[in-house]
Structure 1
Amino acid sequence: MIILENSLLGRLLLPLWYLLCGWYQGSGLRVLLRGISALWTRWFHGSALMCLLVREGVLPRAWRDGFFCRLGETLLNLPAALLHWVYRKGKPLFDHSFFSQLAFAMGEQTPSAIGWLMLVIMVIPYEQWDNRYSLIGFALMFLLFLAGGMRSRALRLDLKSVGPYPVIFAGAVVLSWVVSYSSILSQRFLFFHITCMLCVIVTVSAVERTGDLVRLAGFASFAMFCTSAYGVIQRIQGVEINYSYVDMSVNEGMPGRVYSVFENPNAFGEVLVMLLPLAVALVIASRSRWGKLAALCAAGTGVIALGMTYNRASWIGGVAAAGVFVFLWNRKLIPGLLLLGICALPVLPDTIFNRILTIFNLKDTSTSSRFPLYAAALEMIKTRPIRGAGLGTDVVRLAIKDMNLYHGAAPFVHAHNLYLQIWLETGLIGLLSYLAAMISALKAAAKACKLRCPQEVRLITIGAAAAVAGILVDCLADYLWNYPRVMVVFWFLFAILLSGVKLARRAAQRGEMGGAHL
């Protein structure tokens, strides 16, 4: 605050801000908004929706102490248990070995290594990117975690915190490869999913302290700042209009869409929707002035870059994410958020405002061209509703071509809808388990936000939950996993959400135990 007050901008704007705050404190608008907030809060706390959000499902509740969870953890941790047995047998040798001690110390810093890996994944330009980097990286994270677990029995793969539905979805993914229309075409996509499975299980298992969670959110926010700043530089330098991304007949005057290092502006917009709420959470949660300023710079640059992508689905997803964030953080601010959104519309740049107006314009070819895609996808689902066509977009395209189900002008790439594409690839079991995993995680986050836990854990969990909710809305109009590294970012975000829930529950349990001893 002192930095802002001493700056030229602060000296110009702060007196105006203080004047507006003074007027607001004694205004009828404040009384009206506080009344609406109080009414909303009383209604919501007694509503069926609130009960649905906080009630834990039967399967997740039974999973933590169930036979299958214990069996799965035992099998997954068998290599670590064997390594720990070897360590105990040769403890003097390992304790006096420099390289052994280095490996153990590095293994205990797996969360930091994951943060660096995700930074690399998110900033390498598309032209230099290879999807094998993600698989190799998380395989190394798995081995690093095993190295740490060789000495410490506390470092074990935590299937309990992952929950049953992601495990069922992982099984559905493997099964869809087995029964695929073409298992050879599906094999490459199986490795993409294995990368994401490793990302989730290792990240959730490695995060044991509040600092680990804050560090991961910080790395993600820094990566977003780097890609967003590069996107802003692209806009300054000028971006050539790609007519396959925009219908200029209804978007007259719109400049080229910024894509940063992701080749596709839609993919870039989706990454921003997933990472922006984490940066906002750090703005609020950071205890240092410089930490708040850094997070604010990341969030501000990300918002600017999101506007420059001209990705309508991501804009809607971003609004949904903002609504969920405020809803979980402080529901009294919801009327103010709505008022702010309405007031912001007149000051939007003309190109962005006009782009918003085309969302429901069926004359826009980027909108109308999706209806033949949806029709072909639904016909394919009717043909193989339970098992799906098989894993990956390649095999789906082949099946639809062989059955002559698509009759659009543009080539069929994917269904332009994540949920339809998951159903196409993994069948009904895959779709239902995926939806259950997302809903269960969001419900767990909503409940965890009410627990007594460190402020950083609460806010990062809120940010991750808001980001997941926002991208799920975004995915109604696009296929998020068309780019495998964007798919990795999504599951990394999901892992942060589960990690936040885990830490919040542990903090609440420690508080209850401390209260019981007193």
Structure 2
Amino acid sequence: MECLENSVVGRLLLPLWYVVWRWYEGSGLCRFLRGVSRVWTRWFHGSALMDLLVRDGIFPKAWRDSFFCALAETLINLPAAILHWIYRKGKFLFDHSFFAQLGFAIGNQTPAAIGWLMVGIMLYPYEHWDNRYSLLGFLLMAALLVMGGMRNRNLRVDLKSVGPYPLIFAGAVFLSWPVSYSSTLSMRFLFFHITAMLCVGVTVSAVEHVDDLKRLAGFATLALFGTSAYGVVQRIQGVEVNYSYVDPLLNEGMPGRVYSVFENPNAFGEVLVMLIPLAVALVLCSRSWWGRIGAVCAAAVGVIALGMTYNRASWIGAVFAAAVFVFLWNRRLIPAFLILGLCAIPFLPDTIFNRILTIFNLEDSSTSSRFPLYAAALRMIETRPIRGAGLGTDAVRLAIKDMNLYHGTAPFVHSHNLYLQIWLETGLLGVVSYVAAMICGLKSAAKACKLHCPHEVRLITIGAAAAVAGILVDCLADYLWNYPRVMVIFWFLFAILLSGVKLARRYAQKAEMGGAGL
């Protein structure tokens, strides 16, 4: 603050800010907003929604202390346990070996390695991308975790923190392959899901300290700035209008939609919805001015790029993410957030405002074309409600074609709804366990935000929870996993959420033990 006050900008703007703030403190608007905030807070604390958020789920709570969880962790950590036994037997040799010490040191830096891997995944150009890079990368991360765990017993696969529902969903994914309408077509997609499973398991297990969590959020923010800046450069250079993405009659004058390194503007918009809340969290929790300035730049460029995608579902998801962020951070600011949001509408560019007006316009071709997709998906679900059509869009598309269930004009690629598509691919068990995993994760994050934990853990957990909530709303109108690396980014975000919950609980337990000791 002192640096800002002594700067030229500070000397010019701070006196004006103090005048405005003093006026606001004594104004009727301030008294009105505070009154609304008090009423809102009292209502919320006595509401059913509050009860839903704070109530522990029976199954997740029982899972952490169950025999099955202990057995699963023992089996999956058996290689690391054997290596640790070897290390203890040859401790003198390993401790005096340069290469062994180098391997242990690299293994202890697995969170940083994961961060750099995700930067590469998010910034690599689409035309040169191969989805095998993600799989090989996370296999390497798993090897690093085992290498570090040879000496450090804390580096173990942590299934307690992952929770039961993601594991059930993983089981549903594996089961959907052999019962697929075409197991050959589903094989490729099975490896995409295995990559996501490795991402969640290794990331949650590797995060042991608050600095690890901040590092992952920092790498995500770095990737946000890089991909967003490239999207802005695309707009400056000019993007050709693709009429398969937009109805030219209802969006006259709208420029081409930017897509950065993701080929599709919808995919780019979804990535931005997932990353911007993490950057905002870093703005609030960074201890250095340089860190805050960097996070502000990344978030600002990300918001600008999000507008340039003209992705309506992502705009709605971003607004919902912002509301969840404010709600978890400081509920008293909800009324002010709503008022500021309404006041910002007149300042939107005409092309964005006109695009918003087409959201509920059924004459828009990109909207009306989705209803035959939904109808075909529901017919397919009626045909195979329990086991689904099989893993992957290719198997689903083949089944719908052979059964003549789709009667639209545009080609059937996917159902344009994540939840319908998961049901189509993995059956009833898959969609139920997926939704349960998301709800349980968000509830755990909401509770973790109230625990006694470091400021950074709380805010990054809030950012991850807001991003997950926003993208879940976005996915009501699109299929997030159509691009496998966007799928990896989603599960990486979910892993950050689970890691934040894990650390918050750990710090809260330490605080309770310290208090009990006193």
TM-score range, shorter chain: over 0.9
Q: Which residue of 2 aligns with 1:236?
A: 236
Q: Alpha-carbon deviation of 1:22?
A: 2.2
State whether structure 2 residue 45 is matched by structure 1 residue 36: no
TM-score normalised per structure 2:
0.98
Paired with 1:265 and 1:511, the residues of 2 have a C-alpha distance of 46
Corresponding residue for 2:307? 307
Partner of 1:454: 454
d(CA) in 2 for partners of 1:72 and 1:393? 31
Change in Cα spacing, 1:355 to 1:5, as seen in structure 2 (3 Å) is farther
Residue 489 of structure 1 is matched in structure 2 by 489
Q: Residue 322 of structure 1 aligns with which residue?
A: 322
Structure 1 residue runs without a partner (length 5+)? none
Distance of aligned partners of 1:6 and 1:235 in 2 relative to their CA distance in 1, 3 Å threshold: farther
CA distance in 2, matches of 1:415, 1:464: 26
Cα shift readout 1:234-285 (whole Å, capped 9, x = no counterpart): 1111111111111110001100001001100000000000010000000001
Query: CA-to-partner distance for each residue in 1:9-47, whole Å, 9 max, x for gaps?
Result: 666654543333222111101000000000100111111
Residue of structure 2 equivalent to 1:122 = 122
Partner of 1:131: 131
Pick closer, same or farther for the CA change 1:397–1:12 going to 2, 3 Å. farther
Alignment map for 1:6-155 (pairs within 5 Å)? 13-155=13-155
Q: 1:40 to 1:98 in 2, by over 3 A?
A: same
Q: For 2:105 and 2:138, how far apart are their aligned partners in 1? A: 18
Q: Indicate the residue corresponding to 1:157 in structure 2.
A: 157
Write out per-residue CA displacement over residues 265-308 of structure 1, whole angstroms, 9 at most, x where no aligned residue. 00000000001000000000111111111111111110111001
Separation (CA, whole Å) in 1 of partners of 2:233 and 2:8 = 25
Structure 2 residue identity aligned to 1:402: D
Q: Which residue of 2 aligns with 1:221?
A: 221
Aligned with 2:244: secondary structure? coil
Q: Which amino acid aligns with 2:101?
A: Q
**Structure 2 residues not aligned, in runs of 5+:** none
Is 79-88 or 440-449 further displaced after alignment?
79-88
Tell me the amino acid that sits aligned with residue 465 of structure 2. A
How many aligned residue pairs are there?
A: 518
Q: Distance in 2 between matches of 1:15 and 1:378?
A: 61
CA distance in 2, matches of 1:101, 1:204: 24
Distance in 1 separating the partners of 2:10 and 2:245: 40
Report the equivalent of 2:445.
445
Shift of 1:93: 1.9
Moved over 4 A (4+): 1-16
* Amino acid paired to 1:229: A
Query: Are the structure 2 counterparts of residues 222 and 20 from structure 1 closer, same or farther at C-alpha, using a change threshold of 3 Å?
Result: same
Structure 1 position 427 matched with structure 2 position 427: yes
CA spacing shift, 1:285–1:352, aligned 2, 3 Å: same
Q: How many Å separate the matches in 2 of 1:13 and 1:131? A: 49
Offset from partner CA, 1:197-231 (integer Å, 9 cap, x none):
00000000000000000000000000000000111
Inter-partner Cα distance in structure 1 for 2:320 and 2:157: 33
Identity %: 79
Distance in 1 between the 2:304 and 2:226 partners? 13
For 1:464, the aligned partner's letter is: A
What letter is aligned with 2:124? I
In the alignment, the residues of structure 2 paired with residue 229 and residue 410 of structure 1 have an alpha-carbon distance, to the nearest angstrom, of 33
Q: CA deviation at 1:466?
A: 0.3
Amino acid at match of 1:356: I
The alpha-carbon deviation at position 6 of structure 1 amounts to 6.5
Residue equivalent to 1:210: 210
Structure 1 residue 247 corresponds to structure 2 residue 247: yes
The residue identity in structure 1 corresponding to 2:55 is R
In 2: Cα distance, 1:204 partner to 1:47 partner: 33
**Whole-angstrom CA distance in 1 between matches of 2:207 and 2:38:** 37
| Aligned equivalent of 1:290 | 290
Structure 1 range deviating more: 89-98 or 166-175: 89-98
- Aligned counterparts of 1:353 and 1:440: Cα–Cα separation in 2: 35
Deviation at 1:143, TM superposition (A): 0.4
Cα distance in 2 for partners of 1:454, 1:438 equals 24
Distance, in Å, in 2 between the alignment partners of 1:231 and 1:15 is 37
Paired with 1:371 and 1:230, the residues of 2 have a C-alpha distance of 34
Q: Judging changes above 3 Å, is the alpha-carbon distance between structure 1 residues 13 and 367 closer, same or farther for their aligned structure 2 residues?
A: farther
Aligned counterpart, 1:411:
411
Indicate whether 1:362 and 2:370 are aligned.
no
- CA distance in 2 between partners of 1:212 and 1:147 (Å): 18
Task: Give me the whole-angstrom Cα distance separating, in 2, the residues matched to 1:238 and 1:18.
Answer: 42
- The answer for the alignment partner of 2:465 in structure 1 is 465
- Secondary structure of the structure 2 residue equivalent to 1:151: coil
Shift of 1:2: 5.7
Match of 1:399 in 2: 399
Following the alignment from structure 1 to structure 2, what is the Cα–Cα distance between the partners of residues 11 and 133?
Answer: 51
Residue type of the partner of 2:174? V
Assess, with a 3 A threshold, how the Cα gap between structure 1 residues 453 and 488 changes in structure 2: closer, same or farther.
Answer: same
Match of 2:175 in 1: 175
Name the amino acid aligned to 2:189.
F
Distance in structure 2 (CA, Å) of the matches to 1:341 and 1:11: 30
In the other structure, the counterpart of 1:349 is 349
Cα offsets for 1:393-448 (capped at 9, x unmatched): 00000000000000111000000000000000000100000000000000000100
Q: Residue 328 of structure 1 aligns to a residue in which SS?
A: helix
CA RMSD of aligned residues (A): 1.1
Task: Name the structure 2 match of 1:517.
Answer: 517
> How far apart are the structure 1 equivalents of 2:416 and 2:169?
21
CA distance in 2, matches of 1:261, 1:269: 11
Q: Tell me, in whole angstroms, the C-alpha distance in 2 between the residues paired with 1:371 and 1:15.
A: 56
SS, match of residue 150 in structure 2: helix
Quote how far apart the aligned CAs of 1:132 are.
0.3
SS at match of 1:178: coil
SS at match of 1:468: helix
User: For 1:270, what is the secondary structure of its paired residue?
Assistant: helix
AA aligned to 1:224 is L
Q: Distance between the aligned counterparts of 1:436 and 1:451, measured in 2?
A: 23
Q: TM-score when scaled to structure 1? A: 0.98
What per-residue deviation string (whole Å, max 9, x for no partner) do you get for residues 318-373 of structure 1?
Answer: 00000000000000000000000000000000000000000001111000000000
> What code does the residue aligned with 1:289 have?
W
CA drift at 1:90: 1.9
